[in-house]
């Protein structure tokens, strides 16, 4: 009789487990790569907004005209659910003296010639014109489970990765 040499049940089970482990590892590293790409994209957009804010701040410093500041004052958008949610997190203190917080929506970005800056549905950039800070109302969730909203925090995340 002919000897049939095929894969045994144990060999098949081990092979399935090895393939499952490989697939899991690939998915895990793909998610990390996608998250890093999303973080880098948001950081780039925020830096573009910050550069425009710095330019406007320079003009405002020279002329002291409120109409030079682009966007909507944050007080005027206090009823907006996204803004309320952001303010509840106490990331910024809108009561702080000499701070000029403005909300930038898609239309404001277009006025600033920043059409390429992405803005998700129901999200905004909040800028503070005296310190040139930029915040993103949706934030970005990082691998450590925390959500970051501030350009400085996002830059610090990337710096800590390098170390």
pLDDT at position 154 is: 81
The per-residue pLDDT for range 54-100, each reduced to its tens digit, is 988 888 777 777 778 888 898 888 888 888 888 888 888 888 888 88
CB contact at 8 A, 120 and 134: no
CB contact at 8 A, 72 and 103: yes
pLDDT at 157 exceeding the cut of 50: yes
Phi-psi region of 71 (alpha: psi -120 to 50; beta: other; left: phi over 0): left
Over range 10-14, report the average pLDDT: 90
Q: Report which of residues 18 and 6 the model is more confident about.
A: 18
Per-domain boundaries in the chain: 9-162
Q: In what order do the strands lie in the sheet with 133-141?
A: 72-73, 101-104, 125-128, 133-141, 147-150
pLDDT at 163 exceeding the cut of 50: no
pLDDT at 37 exceeding the cut of 90: no
The per-residue pLDDT for range 96-148, each reduced to its tens digit, is 888 889 999 999 999 888 888 888 888 999 999 888 899 999 888 877 778 88
pLDDT at position 160 is: 57
User: What contacts 121, CB < 8 A, 6 or more positions away?
Assistant: none
pLDDT at position 162 is: 41
Of the pLDDT bands very low, low, confident and very high (cuts 50, 70, 90), residue 159 is low
User: What contacts 56, CB < 8 A, 6 or more positions away?
Assistant: 68, 69, 70, 129
């Amino acid at each position: 009789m002919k000897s049939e040499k095929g894969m045994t049940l144990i060999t098949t089970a081990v092979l399935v487990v090895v393939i499952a482990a490989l697939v899991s590892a690939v998915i895990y590293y793909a998610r990390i790569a996608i998250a890093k790409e999303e973080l880098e994209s948001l950081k780039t957009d925020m830096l573009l907004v910050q550069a425009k804010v710095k330019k406007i701040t320079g003009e405002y410093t020279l002329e002291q005209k409120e109409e030079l500041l682009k966007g909507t004052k944050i007080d005027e958008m206090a009823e907006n659910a996204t803004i309320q949610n952001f303010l509840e997190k106490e990331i910024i203190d809108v009561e702080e003296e000499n701070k000029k917080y403005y909300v930038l929506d898609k239309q404001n970005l277009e006025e600033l010639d920043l059409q390429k800056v992405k803005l998700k549905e129901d999200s905004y950039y909040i800028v503070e014109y005296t310190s040139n800070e930029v915040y993103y109302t949706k934030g970005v969730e990082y691998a450590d489970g925390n959500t970051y909203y501030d350009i400085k925090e996002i830059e610090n995340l990337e710096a800590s990765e390098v170390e």
